[in-house]
Amino acid sequence: MGKTFMPKIRTERELKQIQLEGLQWTVNHVYKNSEFYRKRFDEAGVKPKQIHSLKDIAKLPFTTSKDLQEGYPFPLRSSPFEKIVRIHASSGTTGKRKVLCYTQKDINDWANMFARCYEIAGLTTKDRVQIAVGYGVWTAGVGFQLGVERLGAMAIPIGPGNIDMQCQFLEDFQSTVLCSTASMGILMAEEVEKRGLREKIALKKLIMGSERSSDAQRKKMRELLGVEHVFDIPGLTELYGPGTGLDCIYHEGIHYWADYYILEILNPETLQPVPPGEIGEMVITTLRKEAAPLVRYRARDLTKMIPKRCSCGSILPMHDRLLGRSDDMFIIRAVNIYPGQVDHILSNTQGVGSEYQIHLDRKEDGKDYMTIKVERREGGNSAEDPALAIIIEEAIKKQILVSGKVVIVDYGTLPRSERKSKRVFDNRGV
């Protein structure tokens, strides 16, 4: 392969030097050019010249999604409008949308990062990439497309939904890569199976964005579509969009582009670093972003570092798949639970499908109850349901330290969605 988008970094020391330079550039840039950050730094009593080492990042104040909402319409803006070439916004389910500005350099950096994702996934200029994620003001479609074009592969910008057309394109254009949400990937896998298309398509890789996919979902997609690899692409509008890291073909963790941003994993309560390998909240500081830089931005996504070198030998560090959001965490009987924990147990249980729902109810005795509805695997025997339910109930009790009732339902009875599937139904009122 000719051009590479991987950084020419050979040692951790070199990487740290790049991070320190980027951190110092960022704090100077925002202090000089953003009223918001200058005020925040002054309140915290920190000046850019006090940042001498990477450890000094702990002196910097945090930024939150609330800051972005309060700064609407152009929060964190650190470049003049004449240098801003584009905006993107989050879909914004609550309150105001988060809007992020980009300079041309930011767009170029994003394209390079995304091309790096495709490169690490083993794509070449010969690949044909069917982009079945949404196009619009949010960062998805346009980001996936930028990266394809930067790499030099062929983009097929179809957008989400429209299953008939998706199937037709897979067959007619011989797409080798499909980019979609995990739910859409499952839908496509079932559809290709149903229509008997598997031998007529050329799909080799799936890149799943914007939603966690479970091990069970990935296995199903691999089997039904006959693909070699399913990749999970993390994406955060505040941090350019999707494309800021990807697992490689060894699938030992998500390599993240540590030459573009610093990732801290902190305890969401104490805001202190968790020991390497423990779950915490992702806190992000960008190193080159001009228009809307992030300084210790609390992403609310939960994950953990994978404190080892990947089998591929890359110097780029790895974090685990996202285990949900600290906001999605629910409390039942004084235990904090992340849907990702339930997901993990189900993924490692034989005999269940990929779909599940968690229902929380408060009964007349005043106590809270958790019911987990899980689909039996396709073609599974309903006579085995009681035994299966007990296995899952015991695993939940042992691993999450809370009791839940497991109800096994028929395969295909829980709703599928082309967008994100709702997992937690909290019926406990206020």
Residues 6+ positions from 83 with CB-CB distance below 8 Å: 103, 104, 290, 291
26 half-sphere exposure, CB direction, 13 A CA radius: 27
Cα dihedral across residues 107, 110, 114, 115: positive or negative = positive
Nearest CB to Zn ion, comparing residues 118 and 356 = 118
Residues 6+ positions from 167 with CB-CB distance below 8 Å: 188, 191, 192, 195, 197
The one-letter code for the residue type at 48 is P
Q: Which two tokens stand for residue 304?
A: 């953990």
E-assigned strand segments in 184-320: 205-209, 229-233, 235-236, 241-242, 245-247, 254-256, 261-266, 280-286, 297-303, 305-306, 318-319
CB of 124 to Zn ion, least distance (A): 18
CB of 388 to Zn ion, least distance (A): 35
CB of 126 to Zn ion, least distance (A): 22
Nearest CB to Zn ion, comparing residues 317 and 339 = 317
Distance CA 248, CA 395 (A): 30
CB of 318 to Zn ion, least distance (A): 7
Nearest CB to Zn ion, comparing residues 121 and 310 = 310
Residues 6+ positions from 179 with CB-CB distance below 8 Å: 129, 130, 131, 132, 133, 144, 206, 207, 208, 209, 233
* Contact residues for Zn ion, defined by CB under 5 A: 248, 250, 310, 312, 314
Nearest CB to Zn ion, comparing residues 231 and 356 = 231
**DSSP annotation of 314:** -
Nearest CB to Zn ion, comparing residues 250 and 425 = 250
Length of the chain: 430
Nearest CB to Zn ion, comparing residues 309 and 419 = 309
CB of 250 to Zn ion, least distance (A): 5
CB of 178 to Zn ion, least distance (A): 22
